Structure 1
Amino acid sequence: MLTFEEKLQIIESFPELQRKEVSLGRVNFHYDESIFDKKIVVQHLHPNGNGFVYAGNLPRMDKNNKGFINIRDYSEEALRSLIKQAIHSLSPQSDAAKELAIVGDGYEERWINEERQSLLLIHEDEWWNVYAGLNLEEAFGSYDEAEDYLLDEGFTKHK
């Protein structure tokens, strides 16, 4: 197991993270460039070596209900890899992260036309919104209206 100091050294090697002191000698590290409300990448790194890394946007990870993974027993290589993935998942350069920022927890469907162009249909705040990339294309009061529009425009639901 890495010590607190070793974990600090690894985490501080990521210049995009900002250190924030919290209670009981614990430390958080924030990623201020995150396109999500979520800015904390490393949470409650404790002098006893315990701590958590945010992995809420990462697939197939054993995370708690808040999207964090306990890093108590992580090796240097595993910790570096996890932090790099976490930063990337929150980064504005990641297309997947951009879509997740729009979709959030809402219901979504992807629609594709013959030219392989894709639109997202997302149910949010009682509206059915159609997005082309990050841009809102149209908004509808019902699913049926949105579906009719997408079909009229030559799109089919992607499975």
Structure 2
Amino acid sequence: MIIRPIETWDAEEYLELKKRIDESGFMLHEPGERKTTADEQKEAIAKITSEERSASFVAESDRGLAGFIAAFGGKVNRNKHTAYLALGVHDAFYGQGIATKLITKVIEWAGYTGISRLELTVIKDNVNAVRLYQKMGFQIEGEKVHSLMIDGEPANEYYMYKLNMENRCR
């Protein structure tokens, strides 16, 4: 398993990975809701890789892409020290430490980039993800009440963050 920056030539496989991960029910998109085309995904990859304070990494196995993490950096002076994270792992690869490796990679990247605050939201009922984030040093900052509707029922999300004060914005 290697963790590497995403490339535009990953677009089609990356899109299929994201659709598979949507099936988990723990992502923002509902299963089958994602309508992105391969060309649109390629453009999105090109955009994120061109931004100084944003990045996306994939976990690649001999069977293809197994997971991803994307970090979307702040755009203005007051929040350029932050990055919002999105993480997903293909269910066939659960329990293999891939999410831990992806988070470790983005924390390392943040250090080189001068980002001192990583943040994310996670569905409160996704207990395994909450535990993973806490194991990686993230803390619950607050709760977004009824922020999502899942199967017609309101669901809450946690705001989580991790500070690395050694990484002051450059």
Do they fold alike, i.e. is TM over 0.5? no
- Per the normalisation by structure 1, the TM-score is 0.27
Higher radius of gyration, 1 or 2: 1
Point out the structure with the larger helix share: 2
